[in-house]
Amino acid sequence: MNFLHNYIYYIGAFGLIFIGIFIMISKRNYIKVIIGLSILDTGVNLFLISVGYINNGTAPIFSKSAIESKNMVDPVPQALVLTAIVIGVAVLGLALSLGIRLYKHYGTLNLQKIKEQRW
């Protein structure tokens, strides 16, 4: 029980990462692969955020003078995740545009039916 209490954030984050990887490996539809990529992205972001967490911590914003700096969570992973979210959106857009091209060229989004994409 103690283990669960300590590592519940990690378990959730890695659960999302594993679900994403499994979808990317096993699914055949290109759109589903992109959905898996997105879930994987979310899991990685959640993991980075939970690495910087302090028990009973507050957000690192000095909006009131009463807030003590002692209880603040780590701001560095949050800044990195801010970067990662934007990059994730860019990658998602690019992947979807490639999907549009793929569909126009081959007439299908099933990766098993496309010769160059089969494995």
Partner 1 sequence: MRKVIGIILLVIIAWGIIISLQNVPFGTSRTEVADHYINKGIEETGAANIVTSVVVNYRSLDTLGEVTVLFLAAIGLGAVLASTIRKKEDRDTEKASLILSTGCKFLFPFILLFGAYIFIHGHLTPGGGFQGGAIIASAFLLMYLGCHKEKRINETGIIISESLGGLVFVIIGLIGLAVGTRYFLNNFLPKGEFNTLWSAGIIPIIYIAIGFKVGSELSKIIDLLMEES
Should residue 59 be labelled a site residue for partner 1 when binding is judged by CB under 8 A? yes
Q: Which helix (H) or strand (E) holds 40?
A: helix 30-51
Should residue 2 be labelled a site residue for partner 1 when binding is judged by CB under 8 A? no
Angle between helices 2-26 and 30-51 (to 10 degrees): 160
Smallest gap, in angstroms, from Cβ of residue 56 to partner 1?
9
Q: Taking phi first (over 0 means left), then psi (-120 to 50 degrees means alpha), and beta for anything else, what does residue 29 get?
A: beta
Q: Pick out residues in 22-41 that bind partner 1 (CB under 8 A).
A: 22, 25-26
Q: Cα–Cα distance between 49 and 62 in angstroms, integer?
A: 19
> What number of chain residues touch partner 1 (CB under 8 A)?
45
Q: Which of 40, 57, 48, 56 is closest to 9 using CA atoms? A: 48
Choose, by CB under 8 A, the member of 12, 21, 42, 58 that binds partner 1.
21
Site map (CB under 8 A) of partner 1, residues 72-101, x = contact: xxxxx-xx--xx-xxx-xxx-xx-xxx-xx
Residue 52 near residue 78 (C-beta atoms within 8 A) = yes
Q: Which residues here bind partner 1, judged by CB under 8 A?
A: 6-7, 9-10, 14, 18, 21-22, 25-26, 50, 52-55, 57, 59-63, 69, 72-76, 78-79, 82-83, 85-87, 89-91, 93-94, 96-98, 100-101, 104
